[in-house]
Amino acid sequence: MEVKNANAAMLSNYEVFRLLTDLKEQKKDSGKSKHSAGQQNLNTIMYETLKYLSKTPCSRQGPEMVQAFLSTMMHHKLTKAEKLQLLNHRPQTAVEMQLMVEESEERFSEEQIDELIQTISQLLPGDPEQEVTANADA
């Protein structure tokens, strides 16, 4: 993955996860052992970010899933930022939707919100930690 213009658009968690994973692989392949203080700080940030993102649904997303999600969301009247929020956080309740979609009560009926939640849960993988605990309880 290559960043062509850093100021062009917002990145999803999936894109950040893939970019950092690719950078980590490149560093591993290059085999550099000496690091400056700034490089060490960057390595720490990369490590912590990857650690966090690996516990979120984005770690199990793929380019096809993201494309299918964005194609499906074109039919809904959502802003780019709202689509990004939904992709990153995968809301499962109407309350979560209200937090991510501005004025959702005025813009969407309850049925439309339920349909959106159902569509999101069908297209995007769930939270790995929640699924592990749900399987352990079953």
Helix then strand count (H, E) for the chain reads: 8, 0
Compute the distance between CA of residue 138 and CA of residue 118 in angstroms, rounded to an integer.
22
For residue 41, the model assigns a pLDDT of 83
Does this model's pTM top 0.85? My answer is: no
**Residue 91 CB: number of other CB atoms within 10 A?**
19
C-alpha distances (whole Å) from 105 to each of 43, 95, 118, 130 are: 43, 10, 17, 28
* pLDDT category of residue 135 using cuts at 50, 70 and 90: very low
Judge whether residue 35 has pLDDT over 80.
no
For residue 43, the model assigns a pLDDT of 85
Give the gyration radius of the chain's Cα atoms. 18
Residue with tokens 């990369």: 46
Mean pLDDT of 15-37: 80
**Residue 12 CB: number of other CB atoms within 10 A?**
19
Each residue's pLDDT tens digit, 57-100: 888 888 899 899 989 988 888 999 999 999 988 889 999 999 99
For residue 133, the model assigns a pLDDT of 47
Give the burial class of 14: count Cβ atoms within 10 A of its Cβ; 0-12 exposed, 13-18 middle, 19 or more buried: buried
For residue 95, the model assigns a pLDDT of 92
Q: What is the mean pLDDT of the chain?
A: 82
Compute the distance between CA of residue 45 and CA of residue 129 in angstroms, rounded to an integer.
22
Sketch out the chain's domains with CATH numbers: 13-59 (no CATH), 62-126 (1.20.1250.40)
